[in-house]
Structure 1
Amino acid sequence: MFLTQFRLNTARMGTRRLMASPQSLHAAVMASFAEMPDHQGDGPRVLWRLDQRSRSEVLLYVVSPDRPDLTHLVEQAGWPTTGGWQTKPYGPFLARLAADDTWAFRLTANPVHSIRRHDAEPTKRTVHVTPRHQLDWLLKRQTDAGFEIVEKTERRPDGIPDAWHEVVVHNRSDLAFRKRNESDARAHKVTLTRVTYDGRLRVLDPHALRRTLTSGLGKAKAYGCGLMTLALAE
């Protein structure tokens, strides 16, 4: 496994086109591999995420089973003479994960659930729209994903304990674009919501967490969702 970081040049038209179209950016990421990655089941796959730290600083992160070549992205949306990308082997970091470790994390995800109004109606995938429900979506998946979000407890002036999870849900974006299938010349509309979670977690099951970090969490992985990254907790 490899972890890659690439900074996009926001002054370029190519960058603006890619940022406006998750389908185009997905295609550009997949074009980084000479052989199309063969994803099977819940095994390792290509994941990507955009982090916009400021108006002029946008970073693309890619986790992949094979080492990517982003030359075409440098030419289209980077700095062709001075820019580049950084790729590091991910395996040594994944191997060091241990139970009870605490890490800062970032995850961009598509928090959806399936609903139906009555038993005879087929289920419909619906997005969670409030930060409270978006957080609940993550909390319901954390144990199976191999971690728990750190809880903090303090006593209020009246002596009653007050507990909350150390996570912030922010940067919601509602996307709509046209997708054209290879087997169908017609394009259909795709809508999805992406939100970002920043917080601290504790490792429960290192094996399950490794699977989460390399196969993603939730839906819409082709469109920049599902990639969780870890950093040293302050």
Structure 2
Amino acid sequence: MTLWLTRVVPDLRSADARRDTRGPGGAIHLHRRLMSLFPSDAGPDPRARFGVLFRLEDTPTGPQILLQSSVEPALDRLPENYGTSLTRPLTPLLDALKPGLTIRYSCVASPVRKPGATTRALYKLPPVVSLTGKAADEWWSRQSDASGLKPLTLHSQPLDAVQGQRGAQGPAARQRVRHARTRFDGTAAIIDPDLLRTKITEGIGRGKPYGCGLLSIAPARGTA
């Protein structure tokens, strides 16, 4: 299976681009925008069917959208003057993964824990508890192990939560979405390349439809 990585540089003069990239509900709008680039007859879970993961990046020159998918997106479906875009296959990068290789990684994820029923009752906790600080870092360490990586360095940064209504009408308009987010960056050594390829393809953690879970990697400087 070929994975595709698309980089979209939104033109903020476009009202559509501004709506998709600003505010706590931007990721919900962006999810709908990006899913419109894929076939509509994909069954009950088209995001999973087409392996769609994305992340909104803040750069010195403005926002950029990273979109990963198992099907090449139809970029001509973006609104006119939405911005510039380019798609390339990830196959060369994934084929080059090998044990012992040091990589740089980046991932915006939604770290959580799910307390047991007894703990929830005792401390009056919700079914899913968002993690921050050291607890989030420990969560990422476990995710790294499960991704075939040995973390070497880590920098984590809390981000604003994604929140808003799941849809604009019908039952979805009454369903509220909220995902706390943390950005994880650092270096790691590859232990299991096959496991890493799987995690890159599937994504990490919750909130995948709303800009969480995309694991980006690149060879660390001096190891290419």
CA contact (8 A) 2:11 2:81 kept: no
For residue 175 of structure 2, give the secondary structure of its aligned residue in structure 1: strand
For residue 97 of structure 1, give the secondary structure of its aligned residue in structure 2: coil
Q: Distance in 1 between matches of 2:205 and 2:190?
A: 19
Per the alignment, residue 63 of structure 1 pairs with 68
Q: Distance in 1 between matches of 2:157 and 2:181?
A: 9
Q: Distance in 1 between matches of 2:77 and 2:7?
A: 15
Q: Return closer, same or farther for 1:10/1:45 CA change in 2, 3 Å cut-off.
A: same
* 1:129 and 2:135 correspond: no
Q: Distance in 2 between matches of 1:216 and 1:108?
A: 10
Q: Return closer, same or farther for 1:120/1:65 CA change in 2, 3 Å cut-off.
A: closer
For residue 209 of structure 1, give the secondary structure of its aligned residue in structure 2: helix
**88-97 or 114-123: which moved more?**
114-123
- Which of these residues, 197, 212, 217, is aligned with residue 225 of structure 1? 212
CA contact (8 A) 2:166 2:172 kept: no
- Which of these residues, 26, 31, 39, is aligned with residue 36 of structure 2? 31
CA contact (8 A) 2:50 2:71 kept: no
Per the alignment, residue 167 of structure 1 pairs with 154
Task: Give the TM-score normalised by the residue count of structure 1.
Answer: 0.80
Task: Give the TM-score normalised by the residue count of structure 2.
Answer: 0.84
Structure 1 portions without partners, runs of 5+? 79-83, 151-165
In the TM superposition, 1:6-25 aligns within 5 A as 6-19=8-21, 20=23, 21-25=26-30
Q: Distance in 2 between matches of 1:92 and 1:197?
A: 24
For residue 195 of structure 1, give the secondary structure of its aligned residue in structure 2: strand
Per the alignment, residue 97 of structure 2 pairs with 97
* 1:203 and 2:190 correspond: yes
Per the alignment, residue 114 of structure 2 pairs with 114
**Residue identity in the other structure for 1:125:** V
- Which of these residues, 180, 186, 196, is aligned with residue 193 of structure 1? 180
Structure 1 residues 65-122: Cα deviation after superposition (integer angstroms, max 9, x where no partner): 11112234352632xxxxx311111122211100110011111101111124626859
**Residue identity in the other structure for 2:197:** R
- Which of these residues, 48, 58, 64, is aligned with residue 54 of structure 2? 48
* 1:212 and 2:218 correspond: no
CA contact (8 A) 1:116 1:123 kept: no
Structure 1 residues 30-49: Cα deviation after superposition (integer angstroms, max 9, x where no partner): 11113555669x88711111
- The aligned length equals 211
Structure 2 portions without partners, runs of 5+? none
For residue 107 of structure 1, give the secondary structure of its aligned residue in structure 2: strand
Q: Report sequence identity in percent.
A: 23
Once the two structures are TM-superposed, the CA of residue 9 in structure 1 deviates from its matched residue by: 1.7
CA contact (8 A) 1:44 1:211 kept: no
Q: Distance in 2 between matches of 1:37 and 1:8?
A: 27
**Residue identity in the other structure for 1:45:** G
CA contact (8 A) 1:43 1:215 kept: no
CA contact (8 A) 1:111 1:194 kept: yes
Q: Return closer, same or farther for 1:214/1:65 CA change in 2, 3 Å cut-off.
A: same
Q: Return closer, same or farther for 1:202/1:76 CA change in 2, 3 Å cut-off.
A: same
Per the alignment, residue 145 of structure 2 pairs with 143
Q: Return closer, same or farther for 1:137/1:36 CA change in 2, 3 Å cut-off.
A: farther
For residue 27 of structure 1, give the secondary structure of its aligned residue in structure 2: helix
